[in-house]
Amino acid sequence: MRVVIQRVSEASVTIDKEIASSIGHGLLVLLGIEEGDELVDAEWLVGKICRMRIFADGDDKMNLSLADIQGDAIVVSQFTLHALTKKGNRPSFIRAARPEISEPLYESFCSMMEKELGKTIGRGKFGADMKVALVNDGPVTISIDSKSRE
């Protein structure tokens, strides 16, 4: 699994001109699932994301986690995070997991994140054409891959 997390002051997901999810201070998580990913990848990533110290403390140092600040989150499935761009100019998405594998893993990831944070998180809609809006706070943008554990 691969994620891009963005610290945001606000974010929203719009589907068919209706806001499906919106949050204030927290994280927008773009989640890409590839062939071979398993629940253990989701568990590791959820723990890493929720405990990563990327929010400011009273001294304006990045010492607090999403869990510490009781921040909000939106998770959006994004297969394009596994684009292969080595050949030609058209990306290949052959490494992205098929929907019958990725959709249940996406739902499990979201449920695990809700359990870890003790609150409901925002979600996109799997497979939908979504419009994602955000105000990146910092900006802070971090990518993490569960296979390399970095």
Whether residue 19 contacts residue 12, with contact meaning beta carbons closer than 8 Å, is answered with: yes
Residues pairing with 135 in the sheet: 10
Active site residues: 78-80
Average pLDDT over residues 125-133: 94
Least confident of 64-78, 81-95, 118-132: 81-95
**pLDDT at residue number 148:** 83
Average pLDDT over residues 121-137: 95
- How much is the mean pLDDT over the chain? 95
For the cut 90, the answer to whether the pLDDT of residue 135 exceeds it is: yes
**pLDDT at residue number 22:** 98
Domain spans of the chain, in order of start = 2-145
**Per-residue pLDDT tens digits for 17-50:** 999 999 999 999 999 999 999 999 999 999 999 9
Counting every residue written for the chain, the total comes to 150
> Which is more confident, 83 or 132?
132
pLDDT-derived band at 147 (thresholds 50, 70, 90) equals confident
The DSSP string of 3-69 is EEEEEEEEEEEEETTEEEEEESSEEEEEEE-BTT--HHHHHHHHHHHHH---EE-TTS-EEE-HHHH
What's the CATH number for 2-145?
3.50.80.10
Average pLDDT over residues 92-118: 95
**pLDDT at residue number 149:** 78
